[in-house]
Structure 1
């Protein structure tokens, strides 16, 4: 398979702005009175996903992970660009599976392909998704808005992705059959929390998606907002692996009931896990802790 063959596989995924993938650029116009929000994620075979599994699981996870950043901003996705360095000499069925995974993910979130680039490599698969979203002008939720006295919350259930990776790589877990299925889904198909975006825009003062672990993301909000994030130890146990792609956000205590009611309507569990204090850094039950989490080493 060559580059043109792969582009032909991708062409059915293209949205109107992609110009049928026949041009060297795409056209994208945000709706009136909206801001354009952009983010990018890269996945490397053997680093972000088990080596040798470069089909639909790889690509679906790539796009979902990238879209999670838009969800944390309160944005709605409108398209993405894809760059792929495809390994030479792999079986020809892998690219078809890769495209099917993209199809499944973009169909779930109405987020068409609008362009990108392809090349070959003698190394592992490297793929990058650049995602585009829109948000009403001035309403993007940043990491920098946390206020002293705010509550700290997270969505969903933390720690499942770590168990999911164990299952995908054939390692044993102590989970029930039902939890094993949920864990595998959490790792392979993380759910960007777009259904919560309007609530975030209404009530959240700051937000980050939990990609590198709860304490690590709390550190990002702490640094950007110049406050201390104090977490309850109960909620930090088993939550430092990362890859959960849930949302960590802060909000005024005045909005507790409204947040819980809005989350209940869409069936999304949310957990109050701490509070915002005067100071800097992250503490657990008032004891300072160094924000940890996954860090790439160069």
Structure 2
């Protein structure tokens, strides 16, 4: 249910917190009146921070930022085969985040929490003299499902992706070019975690595609001690006619990349893009992903394998 919040949201930090109570878990958040919450049952937990000009441009509407800070964490939880249940939020807000901005942010939180099935446990708010910084911590439950880990890939597994690759990179390109209303820009601002893939059978190693398809497949390979072939001709690119290298290295797709036992059917909407071809590989192998495809695309992709902070 949407509510008009701007008229009643004041500059007070405590009024802002009060306006979040409708999103809280009444059994554990304790109305946000105590210094801590009680801990609900959980099998997995993750945290991600979004920093202005690093993870987002700063021109996005607050509704989109509220969605994204939860979505990127929910995607991590889904990559472990768990259903996200609870979240904590830490917000460092510069002066530009006025009462209207905060009202929009809460509106976005309401929609995202409803869509992801999340309840808030608490968090922290502070004034930032620098950029806008948003952090969420999300917990999840397995509910009897098998835990997926990056270390589960085995020789002979198929390499699969959960959907189109490259929308994040192309969306960022559109945003930088002042085109915030394209479908790609919408995906960059409001990614959709693959909740529909929960419980898929036969999954070996799994990760969400946040750093880039090549980089995140490499994470699986290193954790599993394997090498994999990635066939660029088989990748379902968001724009097949655009720069393939940018699309497989740009990140921000929040699809799943996973290995699948060779005798298991491919989940609906997913595509086979390669195979695990070698095991017993050193975990720190320089590049455990072998690229196959047009020479120019392979050479371009090899020069930039994905996003890194340092």
TM-score (norm 2): 0.83
| CA–CA separation in structure 1 for the residues paired with 2:207 and 2:273 | 14
- For structure 1, the 5+ residue unaligned runs are 264-268
Offset of residue 80 of structure 1? 0.4
- Mapped to 2, the partners of 1:53 and 1:160 lie a distance apart of 17
Alignment partner of 1:60: what SS?
Answer: helix
Partner of 1:276: 276
CA-CA distance at 1:243 after TM superposition: 0.1
* Deviation per residue, 1:152-180 (Å, 9 max, x gap): 0001111112222233344469xxx9xx3
Find the residue that maps to 1:198 and give its secondary structure: coil
Q: Residues 1-298 of structure 1 correspond to what in structure 2 (within 5 A)? A: 1-16=11-26, 17-30=28-41, 36-53=43-60, 55-136=62-143, 139-171=146-178, 180-181=182-183, 183-199=184-200, 202-234=201-233, 235=235, 237=244, 238-255=247-264, 258-260=265-267, 263=268, 269-279=269-279, 280=281, 281-285=288-292, 292-297=305-310
Q: Which protein is richer in helix relative to its size? A: 1
Residues 64-122 of structure 1 deviation map (CA, whole Å, 9 limit, x = unaligned): 11100011111011110000111125432111111111111110011111111111111
Unaligned runs of 5+ residues in structure 2 are: 1-10, 238-243, 282-287
Structure 1 consecutive aligned stretches of length 4 or more whose deviation exceeds 6 Å: none
Q: TM-score, normalised by structure 1?
A: 0.86
1:93/1:54 CA distance change after superposition, 3 Å: same
Matched-pair contact (CA < 8 Å) for 1:54–1:125: no
- The alpha carbon displacement at 1:47 in A equals 1.5
| RMSD (Å) for aligned C-alpha atoms | 2.3
